[in-house]
Amino acid sequence: MACIESLKYEIILRNATFSECREYIRKNCRELVTVDPGFALFEKPVIGVPPILLGLDGDSITFPYTKPCYGTFLLRTENPEEAARLRSLLKK
C-alpha cells in the first residue's frame, strides 16, 4: 500500500494490534469484509495477521495499515470505487 499517502485518510487507532482493529471494525462499521493477507486493497497487498477485517460504511472503508517503523494504524478513507468492489465480494 505504498500509495497510502495519496489517499485522504483519517487515523482512527495508532499502535494498534490486529485484534483491536478487528474489534473496532466489528463494533463501528455497518458491513464487514474478511480478507487474507496479500489481498489487494487500493491495488496494494494488505499486510496483517489473519483474519483481516475491513469495514464498510457507504463509500467509507476502514482498514488496518502497517508500517515497519511505526506499527499498525487503523485508517478510514472514502473511495466509492473501492467500496463498491469490496461490496461486490460480499455478494459472491
Partner 1 sequence: MVFITGQKEEKEAVLVLGCPQVPVQTAVALYLMHGLRRLGVRPIVAGNPAARMLIDVSDPLHHYAGEMVDLDTFIADMAAGRRKHDYYIVFAHNDAGVTYAATVQSISGKKVIMIIYGENFQAIADRVDFPAEKIMAKAVHNPMPMKKKIDEVLPWLVSNL
Interface pick for partner 1 out of 11, 26, 38, 85 (rule CB under 8 A): 38
If binding is defined by CB under 8 A, does position 85 make contact with partner 1? no
Closest to partner 1 by CB, 67 or 87: 67
Q: Minimum distance between the CB of residue 15 and partner 1, rounded to whole angstroms?
A: 7
Using CB under 8 A, which residues numbered 40 to 59 contact partner 1?
40, 44-45, 47-50
From the list 6-14, 54-62, 63-71, 74-82, the region that binds partner 1 by CB under 8 A is 63-71
Q: What phi and psi values does residue 21 have, to the nearest 5 degrees?
A: -65, -45
Q: What is the number of alpha carbons within 13 Å of residue 85 lying toward its C-beta?
A: 10
Q: How far, in Å, CA of 58 to CA of 76, rounded?
A: 12
List of residues contacting partner 1 (CB under 8 A): 1-2, 15, 17-18, 36-40, 44-45, 47-50, 66-72
